[in-house]
Structure 1
Amino acid sequence: MLNIFARASVSRATDPIGAWLVRLGLTPNAMTLFGTAGAVAGALWLFPTGHLLAGTFVVWGFAMFDLIDGSMARALGGGTRFGAVLDASCDRLADGALFSALTWYLFTVVDHRVLAVAALLNLVLSQVVSYVKARAEASGLSADGGLVERAERLIITLVGTGLTGLGVPYAIDVALWLCAVGSVITVVQRLLAVRRAAEGAAA
């Protein structure tokens, strides 16, 4: 949902940075890999050891490279099909690392099994939300949009971990359950969008 309202504003801020990095000789794919490696390493190292505030800033910082690689691709006249697949694959790795790390933290550090279930739900649902779109596009259909896309998942989850790291009670509880419920709604929204697109194509 944020993609609809914020993409143009964000692009105005990041496009000059992307163009500058291209002039330095960097490539969008290299930026994608660098950002993903940092986000995955930060999540798997910091969250399971209970460093929630540090993990929040590290994962958020490296996730911002996901904005920069798109700006770099635009500076080069548009991205490649391989770049699009690489970017989507790396997004899934980063999402998986984030929710896996939080699941481990909740199971082993704080022994909060009910909340660990919420983290596991988010781990699965984050992949399903993206898979529905990818499978629809492979079938020539559309499944864009939804209440909680990747940007919303990251914002909600990292706000929860960051506030928890600052000592705010129940912040991560609210964040994970809110994200899980929103993701379920998003899966349903996308499946309905696919059905409408399929019916329109058949007609």
Structure 2
Amino acid sequence: MSRAEYLERWTALHGGVPATGLVGGWLTMAHTLAGPLVRLRVGPDGVTLLGLGVALAALWPASVGGRAALAVAVVVTVAGVLDNLDGAVAVMTGRVTRRGAVLDAVCDRLADAAFVGCLWLLGAPGWLVVAGGAVAWLHEYLRARAAAGGMSEVGVVSVSERPTRIVVTVMFALGAGIYPGAGERWALAGAAAWLVVGLVGFTQVALVVRRRLTG
């Protein structure tokens, strides 16, 4: 499947969200990296489970702390890339299924918990980590329930979509690794970013859902 065909198909599957700008660049990267997996006949579900395994693996260097936080940033980045490759492989091989979508959603939520859990292991307060993670889960739950209620399109690309959570985790893990003496403060700031950005994103989605489903 060519890049143009892939982007067109992705847009159709995501309620008409345009594959332009940063989204288009990210999808182009996913299309390029997914090519070898498609040729090797690797299934999308296998990529999904691999991505979850990599996300959970980030917890180990996070528990070590100090300079090991740099490894957290690397592992979370790899997990983020794999998160996009499963969808790319599914689209490019014509293997987009409802079962695969459910598996992907469950693995994404578990990976989200691992990412914010890394910030807790690096020193962020437990209550702040739980709050940030809960808002992220509510963001996704609201969108899923809206879809079940008849909202066929994504509605809005909020500021707290999953790539944002991954980027925030990577940025603050890098800070904790580069400045280990202030690692706990970097982790606290990262968890706070999860919460603040999550609240803004949840509000964006909630407002759109209210407009779309009113009446």
> d(CA) in 1 for partners of 2:189 and 2:47?
32
> d(CA) in 2 for partners of 1:45 and 1:184?
28
- Across the aligned residues of Structure 1 and Structure 2, the Cα RMSD in angstroms comes to 2.2
C-alpha deviation, 1:94, in angstroms: 0.4
C-alpha deviation, 1:4, in angstroms: 6.5
Counterpart among 144, 153, 174 of residue 162 in structure 1: 174
Q: Which one is further off, 51-60 or 95-104?
A: 95-104
Poorly superposed stretches of 4+, deviation over 4 Å: none
Q: Which one is further off, 170-179 or 156-165?
A: 170-179
The answer on 1:116 being equivalent to 2:133 is: no
Segments of 5+ residues of structure 2 without an aligned counterpart are 1-16
Counterpart among 2, 26, 49 of residue 64 in structure 2: 49
C-alpha deviation, 1:122, in angstroms: 1.3
The answer on 1:173 being equivalent to 2:183 is: no
1:103·1:120 contact (CA, 8 Å) conserved in 2?
A: no
**TM-score, normalising length: structure 1:** 0.84
> d(CA) in 2 for partners of 1:82 and 1:132?
20
Structure 2 counterpart of 1:193: 208
Structure 1 counterpart of 2:24: 8
Which residue identity does 2:126 align to in structure 1? A
2:52·2:107 contact (CA, 8 Å) conserved in 1?
A: yes
2:133·2:194 contact (CA, 8 Å) conserved in 1?
A: no
Segments of 5+ residues of structure 1 without an aligned counterpart are 107-111
CA pair 164-39 structure 1, distance change in 2 beyond 3 A: same
Which residue identity does 1:67 align to in structure 2? N
Which residue identity does 2:199 align to in structure 1? V
Counterpart among 180, 196, 199 of residue 184 in structure 1: 199
1:46·1:54 contact (CA, 8 Å) conserved in 2?
A: yes
> d(CA) in 2 for partners of 1:63 and 1:101?
14
- Cα shift readout 1:162-183 (whole Å, capped 9, x = no counterpart): 1111117443333321221110
Which residue identity does 2:106 align to in structure 1? S
Q: How many residues align?
A: 191
2:119·2:169 contact (CA, 8 Å) conserved in 1?
A: no
The answer on 1:77 being equivalent to 2:87 is: no
Identity of aligned residues (%): 29
CA pair 86-174 structure 1, distance change in 2 beyond 3 A: same
> d(CA) in 1 for partners of 2:50 and 2:84?
13
> d(CA) in 2 for partners of 1:4 and 1:11?
9
